[in-house]
Amino acid sequence: MSVSKGHILIVDDEVEIRESLETLLSLEGFHVDTADTAEDGLRKMERQSYDAMLLDVALPDKSGLDALIDFRRLDPALPVLVITAYGSVENAVSAIRNGAENFLTKPWDNEQLLAEVRSAVDRRRLQQENVQLKRALRQRYSFPNIVGKSEPMLKIFDLVEQVAPSRSTILLTGESGTGKEVIAKAIHARSPRSGNAFVPVNTGSLPSELLESTLFGHVKGAFTSAIASKRGLFEVADQGTLFLDEIGTVGAEIQSKLLRVIQEREFMPLGSNDTIKTDVRFVVATNVDLRKLVAEGKFREDLYYRLNVITISLPPLRDRREDVPLLTEHFLVKFCEENQRPLRTFSPEAMRLMMDHEWPGNVRELENVVERAVVLSRDETITQELLPEALTDRTDGGFLPLTGARPGASLFEIMDECERRVILGMLEKTNGSQTEAAEKLQVPLSTLNQKIKRLNIEVKRKSRSRDNGQ
């Protein structure tokens, strides 16, 4: 059986053109789908990932140049060759500006068209291979303290790599327990400052007076208990990274002083009139909505904009369930070593409950569950009896137990069943729209398509009937 050279989508309203192109490309070894309208093309792209597209400019329902924008939203990297009988300079410029690979006119030269298609498909596949290779290398060799293979975490890995070399302030947002300090350490470790200090401060755990002294330092006699001078963390972290956690809890007076340090890169210790210069990179974190605090007058707007230069939002664990087995294995190794126990494993039934749990405490809660199980376990297999009641009591409105995986299923089968349930549930919510489901699941449409094929999920669209009072 011959292997397809690539999967091509032809969007053209003329039957003769579609048939001619389909015959030409099929004889060359390409697998071809056709559509006669922009809407039909969009529907096909929702169900299938393509290596290239041939697009007509004059479509009955929408201009091909306008449709090109919609196609690019579904798959920004898809190579599109625009074909038209109206080979004007204006159309060519518009096509390229909207993201087309090239512009061909009717009648076309067969050899030239085939050469363009081959080139587009080759670039597409090379790009996909590069992305997969980078991700594989990153998962294996980078971010040793960050565990995850889910699409949201891979995007965060990309962001960390991009922002780490700069000196820009980073704002980390996310629920409590999502690992904001771990990400902050990764940013520092991959920055030019990695050889200098990483200084974490939980601003929410310190009273205002102590926090100010901790950050700015003080001279002897600055206040009653200041029996000796002490360097502040702005000075300690010079040339390094200062991580301020729970920044939303900082009082108004310190907010004002912090703004000056970020703007001027200098500060004065308490009780001193001498200015100290500091070259510190700020990474701050919050589990509350700073914009809401600004609207309520509890957080300075100018400080918010100084902090919100680059924002990295960490997803809750319930939105990246495929990472639960990896995190579980990571913490099993850690706590078995710490407690000098042989390496434990979770039984399939226990892992099902782990996958089903909502994890309101996120990664921190998972870590505590694994530590508890390791300490209480007497056998090498951790059963569901060693899990806390929050995981075993399924009357909490959380996920129902997995039923699709057979008894004694492997970890990979359990993960597949979990993915299947999540995807089916989202497709049900989106009326079968893969585009909308991909957006809500925060994965590229092509990734969702691949998972649907691998898991043999049948996609059904419900008919939307108008309300006629029946």
What is the per-residue pLDDT for 398?
Answer: 40
For the beta carbon of residue 326, count every other beta carbon within 10 angstroms: 17
When computed from its CA atoms, the radius of gyration of the chain, rounded to whole angstroms, is 28
What token pair was written down for 414? 């359990």
Q: Is pLDDT above 50 for 391?
A: yes
Query: Domain coordinates of the chain in residue numbers?
Result: 7-130, 151-315, 318-454
b/e per residue 295-307 (b: at least 16 CB within 10 A): eeeebbeebbebb
Q: Model's pTM, two decimal places?
A: 0.56
What is the per-residue pLDDT for 465?
Answer: 41
| Helical H segments across 75-109, by residue range | 89-97
Q: Where does 318-454 sit in CATH, by number?
A: 1.10.8.60
Evaluate whether 53 touches 44 at the Cβ level (below 8 Å). Answer: no
What token pair was written down for 4? 């397809």
What is the per-residue pLDDT for 92?
Answer: 63
Same fold, 151-315 and 318-454: no
What is the per-residue pLDDT for 88?
Answer: 59
341 versus 464: which is more confidently predicted? 341
Q: Where does 7-130 sit in CATH, by number?
A: 3.40.50.2300
Structure confidence by residue, pLDDT tens digits, 248-281: 999 999 999 999 999 999 998 888 888 999 999 9
Structure confidence by residue, pLDDT tens digits, 272-329: 888 999 999 999 999 999 999 999 999 999 999 999 999 999 999 999 988 898 899 8
Residue 333, H or E segment: helix 324-338
Burial, 382: exposed, middle or buried (Cβ in 10 Å; 0-12, 13-18, 19+)? buried
CA distance 107 to 115: 16
Question: How would residue 147 be classed by pLDDT, with cut points 50, 70 and 90?
Answer: confident
Q: Give the count of alpha carbons within 13 A of 116, CB side only.
A: 20
CA distance 397 to 40: 40
Evaluate whether 56 touches 40 at the Cβ level (below 8 Å). Answer: no
Question: How would residue 207 be classed by pLDDT, with cut points 50, 70 and 90?
Answer: confident
Structure confidence by residue, pLDDT tens digits, 223-233: 777 778 888 89
What is the per-residue pLDDT for 348?
Answer: 86
Q: Is pLDDT above 90 for 63?
A: no
What is the per-residue pLDDT for 197?
Answer: 92
Question: How would residue 140 be classed by pLDDT, with cut points 50, 70 and 90?
Answer: very low
What is the per-residue pLDDT for 300?
Answer: 95
Structure confidence by residue, pLDDT tens digits, 403-420: 455 555 566 666 777 778
CA distance 31 to 101: 20
Per the prediction, the chain carries an average pLDDT of 84
CA distance 252 to 107: 70
CATH ID of 151-315, from 1.10.150.130, 3.40.50.720, 3.40.50.300, 3.20.10.10: 3.40.50.300
3-state secondary structure of 301: helix
What is the per-residue pLDDT for 435?
Answer: 85
3-state secondary structure of 403: coil
What is the per-residue pLDDT for 399?
Answer: 41
Question: How would residue 397 be classed by pLDDT, with cut points 50, 70 and 90?
Answer: very low
